[in-house]
Amino acid sequence: MSFADENPYASTYGGAGFAASATVSERTVFIRRTYLHLGAAVLAFIGIEMAIFQATPPQTLMDITIWMAGGWHWLLVLGGFMVVSMVADRWARSSTSLGMQYAGLALYVVAEAVIFIPLLLMAERMGAAKETNLIASAGMVTAVVFAGLTAIVFLTRADFSWLGRYLMLGGFIALAVIVGGIVFGFNLGLFFIGAMIALASGYILYYTSNILHHYRLDQYVAASLALFASVALLFWYVLQLFMSRD
């Protein structure tokens, strides 16, 4: 996570200039590349999930879900996901190898696809019981919210980098609450889901404004990974919100 006054991009990437100081054509190319990579990551995520659900027997998927979502196992899964996320982000920020950057993005997409298995399976079964497609509905809402937040940044040109330290604090608090819920067995409830949707929306504003103001022109892979992570977090909790309805 980066701050406007503590921008690590300048020291990490020495070759290209910042998007904010680039020409209109250079900035346009950078933005187009970023969102094309984001779109590719989303499509890859959908493709991986479809392949997993079509190729894996239903009972095996249920066994995987029960194991992953079972108390202490979920802590292990979250811990492993956090480690993989840090590795993927570091690879995506590589200043020497474009291949390493793509490897980081691919690794993160696969990690998201794996950790989403229990939630998607439960949502699929709940939706079938209610004769509605909860996953598609949550996906549409996520896309609308993302589009709206993106439009706010691009139309106002506002710099939301000041959100960085507050988002980091919110992330640590959220992680502590999640761990506490697992350890002590309490339900986090609708208020927590709403708070996490707000946190994910803040991340989208933050990283979108960084695309305009603080990323370097050769960081489109890292920028797309950051946006994809924010969109995935938003989708996760929007889907939980849909699932919590009677």
**The predicted structure's pLDDT at residue 128:** 83
The pLDDT tens digits of the residues spanning 105-125 come to 999 999 999 999 999 999 999
Residue 42 lies in a domain: yes
Q: By the 8 A CB rule, do 161 and 2 touch?
A: yes
Number of domains within the chain: 1
Return the SS3 of 83: helix
Q: Report the alpha-carbon distance of residue 56 to residue 159 in Å, rounded.
A: 45
Residue 5 lies in a domain: no
Q: Report the alpha-carbon distance of residue 49 to residue 68 in Å, rounded.
A: 16
Q: Which domain holds residue 200?
A: 18-244
The pLDDT tens digits of the residues spanning 68-102 come to 877 678 888 888 999 999 999 999 998 778 999 99
pTM of the model: 0.89
Return the SS3 of 11: helix
Assign 3-class secondary structure to 168-180.
Answer: HHHHHHHHHHHHH
Contacts (Cβ under 8 Å, ≥6 apart) of 65: 117, 118, 121, 122
**The predicted structure's pLDDT at residue 88:** 95
**The predicted structure's pLDDT at residue 10:** 40
Residue 11 lies in a domain: no
Kindly state the greatest CA–CA separation across the chain. 55
**The predicted structure's pLDDT at residue 5:** 35
Q: How many CA atoms lie within 13 A of 176 on its CB side?
A: 6
**The predicted structure's pLDDT at residue 16:** 63
Phi and psi (nearest 5°) for 17?
A: -85, 175
- Tokens 């040109």 found at: 157
Residue 10 lies in a domain: no
**The predicted structure's pLDDT at residue 182:** 79
Residue 2 lies in a domain: no
Residue whose C-alpha is closest to residue 196's, from 223, 178, 222: 178
The DSSP annotation for 31-48 comes to HHHHHHHHHHHHHHHHHH
**The predicted structure's pLDDT at residue 12:** 42
Q: Report the alpha-carbon distance of residue 235 to residue 225 in Å, rounded.
A: 15
**The predicted structure's pLDDT at residue 51:** 96
Residue 13 lies in a domain: no
Within 10 angstroms of residue 58's Cβ, the number of other Cβ atoms is 10
**The predicted structure's pLDDT at residue 7:** 41
Q: Report the alpha-carbon distance of residue 154 to residue 31 in Å, rounded.
A: 11
Q: By the 8 A CB rule, do 207 and 107 touch?
A: no
Residue whose C-alpha is closest to residue 226's, from 45, 104, 63, 70: 104
How distant, in Å, are the alpha carbons of 7, 35, 72, 73 from that of 67? 40, 35, 10, 7
Residue 151 lies in a domain: yes
What does each of the 246 residues of the chain score in pLDDT, given as a tens digit? 333 333 444 434 445 677 777 778 888 999 999 999 999 999 999 999 999 999 999 899 999 888 887 767 888 888 899 999 999 999 999 877 899 999 999 999 999 999 999 999 999 998 888 888 999 999 999 999 999 999 999 999 999 999 999 999 999 999 899 888 877 777 788 999 999 999 999 999 999 999 998 898 889 999 999 999 999 999 999 999 999 875
Q: Report the alpha-carbon distance of residue 225 to residue 158 in Å, rounded.
A: 21
Q: By the 8 A CB rule, do 174 and 193 touch?
A: no
